[in-house]
A and B are shown apart, each in its own frame.
Chain A
Amino acid sequence: MAKSNEPLVWAPFFAGAGLSALLMPVLIVLMLAASYSGPEAFDLRGLLNNWLVRLILFFLISLSLFHAVHRIRFILVDLGLKSASGLIAALCYGFAVMGTLLALLVATGVWS
């Protein structure tokens, strides 16, 4: 039995776990604040155009995607879809790669 190449996806999974655990809750609270107070309360758009914010959000989005799809892949396998495990893995990580590319395009302002 050869060594698996799982570490390729486990590293972003692990990084995504920490990053999403630390950053997402406060961001959700901020979004709730924005949702309740409306566009006059604070300049959400200005904030989102800050380069540092975009940099952090790019990494947060990308690594959170890798984190989530990795767990979803294993949930599906644990729940009985073991026979399709190769296909599920391809779909899951493919989705995360695509999401990362989109995040790159959006964060750099290329796609608008």
Chain B
Amino acid sequence: MKTKEYIRPIPATWWLHNRQVIQFMLREMSSFFVLGFAIFLLVLLYAANRGPAAFRDFDVTVLQSGWIKAYLWITLIFVGYHSITSFNAAPTIMAPRWGEDKIDPRVVIAANYGLWLIVSLVILIFVLPS
């Protein structure tokens, strides 16, 4: 005789269940800020197309505004979180091995951070003299 099975549906608040899934949701929320900054860069390029006077205007009224400063600080935090979580995920996705030995994931993560530092420094060196 088959008895009735009890089904437990998953609640809509599943992502609040424990610390790790909350962190997962925060990690995914950081993608909104990646989107936002991509659009910001698009707008920036558009402004640069419009001639020096218009750009200067844009620079002073928009770029220097308090709103933009606040937006950039928040974006920096969330995009930074996106970077950190992406680098930390790298060993899982790549599964690097040296022959039969697994390469320590910390080495892979350190290599990612190293690359990040180098790329950032190269960009800063390229930009700052101008």
Interface residues of A (CB under 8 A from B): 16-18, 20-32, 34-36, 38-39, 42-49, 54, 57, 60-61, 64-65, 67-69, 71-72, 74-75, 78-80, 99, 102-103, 106-107, 109, 111-112
The yes or no answer to B107 lying at the interface (CB within 8 A) is no
**Please, which residues of chain A bring their CB within 8 A of the CB of B128?**
42
Residue contact A30 to B79, C-beta cutoff 8 Å: no
Alpha-carbon separation in the docked complex, A36 to B83 (Å): 24
7 closest pairs, A vs B, by CB? A112-B49, A68-B35, A48-B48, A26-B120, A71-B31, A64-B38, A21-B83
A68 in contact with B38 given A28-B76, A38-B60 (CB within 8 Å): yes
The secondary-structure label for the interface of chain A is helix
Minimal beta-carbon separation of A103 from chain B (angstroms)? 6
CB contacts (< 8 Å) of B48 on chain A: these are: 44-45, 48-49
Tell me the nearest residue of chain A to B121, going by C-beta.
Answer: A26
Classify the interface of chain B: helix, strand, loop or mixed: helix
A32 to B63, CA, bound (A): 9
Interface centre among B32, B39, B48, B64 (most CB of A within 10 A): B48
Q: Which residues of A contact B111 (CB under 8 A)?
A: none
What's the minimum C-beta distance from B95 to chain A, rounded to whole angstroms? Answer: 15
Q: Which residues of chain B have a CB within 8 Å of any CB of chain A?
A: 12, 15, 25, 28-29, 31-32, 34-35, 37-42, 44-46, 48-52, 55-56, 59-60, 63-64, 68-69, 72-73, 75-76, 79-80, 82-83, 86-87, 115-116, 119-120, 123-124, 127-128, 130
Neighbour of A61 across the interface among B28, B42, B63, B79, CB < 8 A: B42
Query: What B residues does A49 contact at CB under 8 A?
Result: 48
Interface centre among B31, B68, B76 (most CB of A within 10 A): B31
Partner of A28 from the list B37, B42, B59, B86 (CB cut-off 8 Å) is: B37
